[in-house]
Amino acid sequence: MKKLIHLLTAAMLMATVTTSCKDKIQVTGIKIDKETLMLPIGGTATLTANLLPYGATAKMNWTANNNMVTVESNDGESVISKGLVTAKNAGTAIITVATKDGKFTATCTVTVINPEPELIWVEGGTFTMGCTDGECPEDGREEPPHKVTLSSFKIAKYTVTQEQWEVIMGNNPSYFKGNNLPVEMVTWYDVQAFITKLNTLTGKTYRLPTEAEWEYAARGGNKSKGYKYSGSNDIDAVAWYNDNSNSKTHPIGTKAPNELGIYDMSGNVWEWCNDWYGAYDDAAQDNPTGSLSGVSRVCRGGCCANTDAHSCRVSSRNSVSPNSRAGLLGFRLVLP
């Protein structure tokens, strides 16, 4: 009898263990690793969703609420599911991951940004580069004036914004923060890294303007009216500088454009050019690219703080070490 009781007890224990092994841990929720995500058009990112509690398993489905993004997942029934998000169009999308029965969901808001600049066509031509307004600095840096002939190119309508920088680089080094403010506090080498990533993403060949391209565009190209500043002889109409800016940057495009429809080439932030800084000579040149070597790079345009009207003139030039993360140094791009 005792032997029979022991056998029955063992059988019941085995049945209990077998039953508990077959029982699934019930899902109580889903946790996604990012609630917000920012991507450039063409960019991708992977989102990870975990079932709650630990050890629960269920099939999870991924969906996007519009065509700004696509999301793909090949996961089977699992504890963790990954969704590959690809940005298609600028705008905002909601990514949802849900259990197959629809009882539990989690979402991520994806903002898709176009990192490419809006471009202005600049018809090639010949102009006089250097000081032509009679306000030449005593150090001679803007002299002698000389003839330059340029091929046509496209230049950005605005300086690169903090939003465009952050979606490519994943950081924001600027002192004054704001999505639509120009990015600043970037070295010349930082800019090269940005351009490399942008070109890889887009398959294009963006670069910094040469100093000659910058000045020609600032003067209004072949539509130039000979203004002292980029777009006007009235600096307050076209530039944020120390007398009107409250010593801070302002959103791009809030002053009047120049003759070509380009904004902020006078004031707001200094702009990096591609050239090594060097002295001018009086020889006529075709598509010059500056000195072959040097210790500093050219920057142009003046800025919103500690910069008077004289530094915002279209011929004004400055030099800064390419390693410098000086305040109020930004940039715009060209596309040959």
pLDDT for the residue 304? 96
Are 167 and 43 in contact by the 8 Å Cβ rule? The answer is: yes
Q: Grade residue 198 by pLDDT with cuts at 50, 70 and 90.
A: very high
Considering the chain, tell me which residue range(s) the CATH 2.60.40.10 domain(s) occupy.
29-113
Torsion of CA 166, 169, 173, 179, to 10 degrees: -10
| Res 20 pLDDT > 60 | no
Averaged over 291-306, what is the pLDDT? 95
267-279: per-residue pLDDT in tens? 999 999 999 999 9
Q: What is the pTM of this model?
A: 0.88
Q: Is the pLDDT of residue 8 over 80?
A: no
pLDDT at 322: 97
How far is C-alpha 125 from the geometric centre of its chain's CA atoms? 31
Q: Is the pLDDT of residue 19 over 50?
A: no
Q: Which CATH number fits domain 29-113: 3.40.50.360, 1.20.58.100, 2.60.40.10, 3.40.462.10?
A: 2.60.40.10
Task: Please give the pLDDT value at position 14.
Answer: 44
What is the reported pLDDT for 9? 46
Q: Which of 62-76, 152-166, 184-198, 233-247 has the lowest mean pLDDT?
A: 62-76
CATH 3.90.1580.10 location in the chain: 119-335
204, with CB counted inside 10 A (0-12, 13-18, 19+), is middle
> Which CATH number does 119-335 carry?
3.90.1580.10
**pLDDT tier at 94, thresholds 50, 70, 90:** very high
Q: Contact 221/259 with Cβ under 8 angstroms?
A: yes
Strands 285-286 and 146-150: parallel
Do residues 279 and 194 lie in contact, with contact meaning Cβ atoms separated by under 8 Å? no
C-alpha dihedral (260, 266, 270, 275), degrees to nearest 10:
50
Of the pLDDT bands very low, low, confident and very high (cuts 50, 70, 90), residue 17 is very low
Where is average pLDDT lowest: 92-96, 190-194, 303-307? 303-307
265, pLDDT greater than 70 = yes
Whether residue 77 is predicted with pLDDT greater than 60 in this model: the reply is yes
The yes-or-no verdict on residue 292 having pLDDT over 90 is yes
Supply the pLDDT for residue 23: 62
Task: Kindly state the average pLDDT of the residues 149-164.
Answer: 98
Average pLDDT in the chain: 92
pLDDT tens per residue across span 29-61: 999 999 999 999 999 999 999 999 988 999 999
Q: How far is CA 253 from CA 47, 63, 142, 175, 268, in A?
A: 36, 37, 27, 19, 10
